[in-house]
Chain A
Amino acid sequence: MKKLDFSASLNHLSDETIAEAEAARNARKKKPASLKYAAVAACAAIVVLVGLGVARGVHIERDVPDVTTPVFESETAAEPVEPAASDGLPMLRFADESSAEGGRGVFLKNGVEDLLGVEPILPSETPETLPVYKNTTKFYGGIYPDSVDTDRIKSLLEKYAAAWGLDISSLEITEENPFSEYSSDDLDKIFSDTYGVPVPEGVHQPQKMSVSADGITVSASQYGASVTVESAGLPSFEDENGLAEYVLENYADRLLMSAPEINIIGGERNADGGQNRSVSFFEGSGDALERLLSMEFRSVGVYLDGDSLTFDYHDEKGEELGDYPTITPDEAAELFEQGFYLGADETDVRDAENIEKIELEYVSGSSEFWFPCYRLWVYDPDGAIERVMSMKLYNVYTVPAIEPRYFEESGISTSEEVRLMPFSAEDIPPYQNAGYYDGVMKDAKPATSADESLEELFSDRDFNAQIGSFYKVRVNETLDGSDALWLNGYTTGAQDDQATFYRATVLYDYFAEKAMHKDIIFRMAGSVKMQESGSPPYTSGDEAALLLFRDSEVSDFNRAFKCYAFVYDVENIDGGEYLLARGQRVPELEDSLTDYMTDETASIVTSSTYNPAVYHGAYDPEELAQKLKEIVDGAEKTPLENLSEGRFGPGVLGFGGSFKEEPAEVAALEYVSEPIYERRIPIDTVPATGMPMSFDEVLSGMSGQLSGIAYEITGVYTREEAENLHEDFADSLYASRTLYRAHAFYDVLNDKPLDYYFDVAGWGTADAQEDGWPPYTVGDRLLSFFRVNDSEIKVPNSNFEFMLFEIDGVKVAYHIGKSRIRFESDAYPNLDLEMAESEREVITTTKNNPIRFTQKSTLQSLAEFMRDELYDRGLFTPDDASAESLPILKITPAEVSLGDEIYSAGDVSGLENGNPWDMLEISEGDTLPVYERVLSRNFEMNGMIENVDRDFMREALRFYAIGFGFDPDEIEIEEDRLTPEELEKLSESTRTELPEEYAEPTRMSFEKDGVEVEIYVTDGMFYRVDIGIDSGFELPEGAKVGFYFGASREEAENAEAALLTEYEWLIGNNDAGKTAVDSGESDRCFVTMYHPCVGEFIPYDDGTLPEPDRNDIVKTIINFSLNNIDFMDDGDIFCYGIPNAFETQYRKVGDYPMITPDEARALIDEGGYVWTAFDESGRTAADVVRTELVYGRDGVPYYKFYCPADGWRGCVAGEYGVYYVPAIEQRFVEMGE
């Protein structure tokens, strides 16, 4: 079974299982208390509020109510509460229960005016502190008490029965337990499945007790009681007010309040537009707070059911924890926008502008803590409901009304300080946020790390005066380039490459030790050029600690002190928060701190692959902040009043440059969906007219021949690689270009498919990137026009560069706007596709540099257009003759190295050896790619092997080391290298001045734990790896491979699956592998593993395989022939081959016209085959019994014809000889000896 199918079966997990895991995903990650705000914010998704809103209707104490605070009986809490670190107030948390109602949708017909209910304290009048209570009943998952206080139930029963004139001592008490009917297995399932907890003890205890007499039933639970009066002889009521008045007139004493106040609550609408209203009473005497507490915790709801009346008394038991500092409604709204609210709502519609009403109330019910909160009524502006149901939709959110710092994440005790521990570089978690510049930057230069003394750093008194604080910020986005330019007051080419602006949220003030939630825009190093020097470009989601200039109270705009002298990435490692020093080194500061990183430096890739962050220390935030504060406080400062006026508020320094306008506030800058660095590129114009150059004007200046090639980028070279490959590149091209490896797939001008690789010097240096032009990356498809006689590097004509996409099955070419020409559809009507504004740019490798398009057409119409235009101007000559320019291939039998000339394979006519050549449909005009080996031998230099890629060899060994489970840094690679003395001696003996390269190894190996791996260059000028495996793996019974001890086809077939499972990785990580039993000898079968491009694909759901593509078939033939590894058994497993090096080994010569198998077979009789001893066999074309197409080691395709060999030189029946005939037209072939 395929792993993918197994994975697909998980789609049939129950909804509940998936929802449970999903809910757990939304419970934010657990962080230690030291994270302060971050931990609080994490609470936002965790929920609660089973009882929220329930508190709006119920009951109170005795005849003579004592509603002066404390409302609750002062009892010891069931469990001690952890004190907060600062002011001794206990920390609070929410129950980890995920079904709460954050963002609950509510219908209102007339908006918030529909809402009913008394508000004892208006949000605008929220006191500076409010009491918080601990629920003394412990709940599992917020749903069920873990034990039931039956004494309390009985006490409440007695209390409320007495209020209604009943004496329970003379009545039969009925006990109720809703779980009594469940078996213990059922109970176990209910609790363990749903809540992941064992069955609470309380389940087995009575939940309610009740008595009845004289038409009155009193029922008590441990949270209160309800009293139902049957046949109450009620009149009819017009509305809830009528009922309330009636209750006051007839049952006031039963409410157990001195001054009961009516509270009609509700207002929400149901689907039919009806309004929910109910009657409640609370104690009207006392101050505002007492009234609020009474309403929340001691109310009485009254309900009508026919002629019976029910009084619902709310009477819970809690412990007062103290008065907690509150926040304002505005702050609550801000927190709400930050996502800090109770409940697990998934929607992102959290715009404070849509808050239409805020109420102050209490979280109550089964929540562990009862605290004040703001209830936010947030209008959903979408309007869908209004259209469908003629009602407005509101989402209700609840934000705690006390300062967030008093909350911790559920289940995590803040009393336990996380002890910071030393760690090594490898403990730093991998970077998670999406990178912007991955893969396309030019080389990284060493980070600027010059030491600087504190005295030097704090030498500017003006600067010192402005240091605001040491903040923890979270980057939200990189600012739009145009905004950045505007903010910076830049002009093109001036200072605009020195800084980047980020929109960020300040999360924490390390100096003041308090959480914050403020959006700022800050500037710091991070432009592309600075990035190249190792400075950090941050990206969305990154968190950093920065010494910033501006106090957050002063300005929304900020900048980092000294750019990156005090820059630290915030990282959580094993539960502890560390600040990883990333900026310039400050030895004096570092020496005074405890460095938790055991390695001297750690390098991790953050937003840029090519510019990893280099950390040189890891510090405790508190310790670092304390030291920094001492330094800042001690620094000499210019008095603030002496500072000249800045651009963004009082103070001295703006962001530099001359400002065109002064931004008022952060909100004045529009968010952009994707940040960019875009800079407008001036279009070159014709001086005489001032107009952009036209297509004609551009072409009129061109000469020579052009080719139009559609290609896909398959790799991006580093500068070093590019320079090693092509001297030209180092000399002239690097200044403006990046070297890409590309796969050509379509000749646009000749309208024929292509299939070869080449190097193209395309756009993409950092400079170009900064100009707004994209560095391409792997997978991008482009159409470029090249000079036919370009050197080995093709350089696209920048005027005609197109990006290719397939849209609804149509190949579309977008003209990239770098062009200096006016390329308009009016002038060239065959480029006729209209382009929507949304299509004008596309984000490819970097969000910061979208590609801009100016023209859109189908590839077909563009091809026709360019073909005609270039032909008319003599810039393009149609194909035909072009094949003539292909070089003649010199075939040297010894270099073909196709294997034995005699095969002993039994009946080969139906032999299945994995070669998919028979899938290839061959038609006239078809071509096959021909390659040549990269490696060569220089006989003038005593046979020195040239072009050996030793880095490749070392990397290959590391790859194999990893595959076998070794640490690649721990293997010892042996390299056969000549010593200088040996080289000198050889030079003398050969009378040739051998270069130093001659001494470099062509053979490397390692041996570890029973595994021997050797990679070397063979005499045939190709790389090969030999691997001996003497441990860990054994073939299953009945399986066998190889020459040494013989193996039948059946035995080899038995080995295939085991080998594939164990060693599939050997063929690289590009694709699944395929094995085939090779029939070198019928009794010595071995297994070949190679990378299949056809035949073994993952099938569609219906089991069918995709249609094979011709190129894929050819590639598979190549892999089968040249890019594989064979498995033998010489007692241990032994394999050899070189499965991952085709592109290292070969470079393409061209696509050569191929011949058919029949044409090739006919050539046998004409001697048109590669010479082997078998040509003396006298076998002719008529003797051929089997044909294959294979590639020789020389990179040329051959037809392989099998003929029976019996009778020739002692061969017996079942043995076959082979002829190899080049599969390309003979006119391109020159047979050598």
Chain B
Amino acid sequence: MQDEMIVELFWKRDETAISESEGKYRSYLSKIAYSVLADLEDAREIINETLLRAWNSIPPQRPSMLKTYLGKIARELSLDMYRTKHRKKRVASEFTVSLDELGDIVSEGFEGEIDLKLLGEAIDRYLQTVSYEARTAFVQRYFFADSLREISARQGASEAAVKSMLFRTRQGLKEYLTKEGYEI
């Protein structure tokens, strides 16, 4: 079913919207959650939560990109769960590995208040200045937590090349954010 129809079902408060969304995007959402949490049970839980949250937010929301909308919810919920799990033990996921790479952008010692929305928008602006390959690789690595192997296979490049490209993108981002006045 097309996304517009599914959104329409949400608006009509027809619960088939949930089953349609699940049928269409289960694997997509599952991969997002699993990449972060490395736990299938948790991933299932995240999917259910995501659909519930979508049900509660549409309406009033009317997402133009349902897939991305659901993906963002799933990722947000996954990060929340990751925080909780991470307190107990390190979550051995690809996400954890990718998170470590962000260490050259952020300083864990800095504890100032930062509006994550504004920061995300600034990052988005920066990403528009880099190449298509660099942008998609960055989002795939740090949003979707795809492995270097997956990304390099898609791009037909070596893992080393992708790693290097990600490094340069991160360095550029750091510079950009510094210029924009972010101290992270």
Contact = CB atoms under 8 A, between A and B. Distances in A.
A575 interface: yes
Contacts of B165: none
Interface in B123-170: 123-124, 127-128, 131-132, 135-136, 138-140, 142-144, 146, 149-150, 153-156, 158
B150 to A, nearest CB: 8
Nearest to B120: A12
B62 interface: no
B44 interface: no
A393 interface: yes
A105 B1 contact: yes
Given A14-B124, A20-B136, A25 B146 contact: yes
Interface in B71-92: 71-72, 75-76, 79-80, 82-84, 86-87, 89-90
Contacts of B120: 9-13
Contacts of B131: 196
A426 interface: no
Contact of A347 (B16, B24, B124): B24
Contacts of A575: 156
Interface string B18-39: 0110011101100000000000
Scoring A24, A380, A393, A1071 by chain B CB atoms within 10 A of each residue's CB, the highest score goes to A24
Contacts, number: 192
Contacts of B121: 12, 14
Contacts of A7: 79, 95, 99, 102, 142
Contact of B128 (A193, A572, A1057): A193
Contact of A3 (B64, B99, B158): B99
Interface stretch (A680-688, A861-869, A1094-1102, A1174-1182): A1094-1102
B5 A385 contact: yes
Contacts of B75: 11
Given A21-B139, A1101-B80, A346 B123 contact: no
Nearest to B115: A9
Contact of B68 (A15, A382, A1097, A1100): A15
Contacts of A388: 9, 12, 14, 16
A574 B157 CA distance: 8
Given A1-B112, A18-B71, A348 B27 contact: yes
A10, A19, A430, most chain B CB atoms within 10 A: A10
B103 interface: yes
A1058 B108 CA distance: 10
Contacts of B86: 4, 1071-1072, 1097-1098
A6 B6 CA distance: 32
Interface in A548-594: 572, 574-575
A18 B32 CA distance: 12
Contacts of A1072: 86
Interface residues of B, number: 76
B119 interface: yes
Contacts of B58: none
Interface residues of A, number: 64
Contacts of B89: 1070-1071
Contact of B65 (A15, A346, A387, A1106): A15
A1057 B1 contact: no
Contacts of A393: 1
Contacts of B80: 1101
A1098 B25 CA distance: 30
Given A1-B184, A15-B64, A20-B136, A27 B154 contact: yes
Contacts of B136: 20-21, 24
Contacts of A1110: none
30 contacts: A4-B82, A4-B86, A7-B102, A8-B116, A10-B120, A10-B123, A11-B143, A12-B118, A12-B121, A13-B124, A13-B139, A14-B124, A15-B69, A21-B139, A24-B154, A25-B144, A346-B24, A346-B25, A346-B27, A348-B27, A385-B5, A388-B16, A572-B153, A1057-B108, A1061-B107, A1070-B90, A1072-B86, A1097-B86, A1099-B83, A1106-B84
Given A192-B132, A382-B20, A384-B14, 19 more contacts: A2-B108, A8-B79, A11-B120, A11-B143, A12-B116, A13-B139, A15-B68, A22-B68, A29-B150, A29-B154, A196-B132, A346-B24, A346-B28, A346-B67, A387-B16, A1057-B108, A1061-B109, A1071-B89, A1071-B90
Interface of A: 1-15, 17-22, 24-25, 27-30, 104-105, 192-193, 196, 346-349, 380, 382, 384-385, 387-388, 393, 412, 429-430, 432, 572, 574-575, 1057-1058, 1060-1061, 1069-1072, 1097-1101, 1106
Interface of B: 1-2, 5, 9, 12, 14, 16, 19-20, 23-25, 27-28, 63-65, 67-69, 71-72, 75-76, 79-80, 82-84, 86-87, 89-90, 95, 99-100, 102-103, 105-112, 114, 116-121, 123-124, 127-128, 131-132, 135-136, 138-140, 142-144, 146, 149-150, 153-156, 158, 184
